[in-house]
Amino acid sequence: MFARSATGEGEAAASAESDIWKIAELGEPTETIQADVCIVGAGGTGTAAAVQAIDLGLKPIVIGTGGYANNSEFLYGVSETKNVNIQALGMDCRDGDGIKMAKAAGAAMAEGLGTVMWCGPVTLGAVTATWTTDAYSAGVQPTLWLNQNGERYCKEDLWIDDFAGAGIAVRNQERTFVLFTEADMVRWETEGPDGQVFSFGTPGTPLAEAREVLEASEGCHIGDDLAALCAEVGLDAAAVQATVDEYNKACAAAAGLDGEDTSADEEFGKRARYMHAVDAGPYWLCEVGDGFYTTCGGIKVNENAEVLDEEGQIIPGLYAGGSDAGGLYGDSYDVKFAPGSQAAWAVNSGRLAIKNAKEYLGK
């Protein structure tokens, strides 16, 4: 199962072999291909690697367990996030096992270990790993976004152009909230959401199921008395009211402007089409966490997907890719300029791992 001992190579890491295997057993490798090939993980990386490994009958270890998105202790330990609420979207089970395995084998960590594919607000208690819902779409609309001080902190329609940028803005606050009115909710229920990023939550398609889910969620506080809602969540009501008053003035100035005009929102430059006054209850004040899809930092690899140790030396027979390997990104996934690059990296690093493992074995 472990190529290095079988070939007699990689003695420096051989002492860690039992540790590696112990950790691998904990996670029950989902892709064990043939008797002596170990591919840990079955996502983009593992699938690409497995397909080639089957053909070639290779014996290396390819690590691709998808990073550490579901291990909040790990994430708070390495990431710069300040937000007390974080929410992984998409799937459970990415606990950093591959990174732990590689570390046990002497691997170095790449710069940017705390890199996370942030994506903006997610209403607490309303959205889980299954995120493609009306409630998710409603909670992330470019309404009035507030931080722990009751202040705005970004132009809320940033989410539509660059969700990673919006996610980083949320990450830099300690607590985050979205505030909208019953009129907004009714508009979304009849006309669909104001803004769209993904293939779901489309303007023109009513968000028929948002209300019920949000009403039942721990994050949402609904009522006619905004000050009372602020008290419920621990926000300074006077500070929130001051922000609302300023925002409403900007909304009044935006009325009648072209939808793309950003001049009315002097503070942040949100487009006029998204400026809806917060001037009548019932109000919806929802605490949101910083949502993210995956972590993108991890094991240090070279251009061949070979794992490197602290001295920059290759650990023979050990490969890593996808979200377990680092070095691809800085602060976050740059969705605006290179969408799909993280998934493409997962597939291609799996391919590179096997291509180079083949050479390692002289095949």
Ligand X SMILES: Cc1cc2nc3c(=O)[nH]c(=O)nc-3n(C[C@H](O)[C@H](O)[C@H](O)COP(=O)(O)OP(=O)(O)OC[C@H]3O[C@@H](n4cnc5c(N)ncnc54)[C@H](O)[C@@H]3O)c2cc1C
Candidates 69, 113, 115; CA nearest to 93 is 69
Candidates 80, 71, 65, 76; CA nearest to 112 is 80
Helices (H), the chain: 3-7, 11-14, 17-27, 44-56, 72-78, 97-104, 134-139, 158-161, 163-171, 182-191, 210-216, 226-233, 237-254, 341-360
Q: Please identify, using beta-carbon distances, which residue of 8 and 340 lies nearer to ligand X.
A: 340
Q: Is 1 in the site for ligand X (CB under 6 A)?
A: no
- CB–CB of 321/307 below 8 Å? no
Q: Is 128 in the site for ligand X (CB under 6 A)?
A: no
Among positions 3, 10, 46, 114, the unique one binding ligand X when judged by CB under 6 A: 46
Q: Is 342 in the site for ligand X (CB under 6 A)?
A: yes
Residue 108 carries which DSSP code?
A: P
In degrees and rounded to multiples of 5, residue 160 shows phi and psi of: -70, -35
Q: Is 323 in the site for ligand X (CB under 6 A)?
A: yes
Q: Is 165 in the site for ligand X (CB under 6 A)?
A: no
Among positions 7, 19, 21, 30, the unique one binding ligand X when judged by CB under 6 A: 30
Q: Is 181 in the site for ligand X (CB under 6 A)?
A: no
Least distance from C-beta 322 to ligand X, angstroms? 2
Least distance from C-beta 321 to ligand X, angstroms? 7
Among positions 94, 152, 171, 221, the unique one binding ligand X when judged by CB under 6 A: 94
Measured in whole angstroms, how far is the alpha carbon of residue 155 from the centre of its chain?
Answer: 20
Q: Is 256 in the site for ligand X (CB under 6 A)?
A: no
Q: Is 290 in the site for ligand X (CB under 6 A)?
A: no
Q: Is 89 in the site for ligand X (CB under 6 A)?
A: yes
CA-CA distances (angstroms) from residue 109 to 4, 302, 327, 352? Answer: 21, 12, 9, 19
Among positions 10, 60, 66, 317, the unique one binding ligand X when judged by CB under 6 A: 66
Least distance from C-beta 75 to ligand X, angstroms? 14
Q: Please tell me the distance from the alpha carbon of residue 192 to that of residue 203, in angstroms, as a whole number.
A: 5
**Site for ligand X, rule CB under 6 A:** 27-30, 40-46, 64-66, 89-91, 93-94, 97, 293-294, 322-324, 339-343, 346
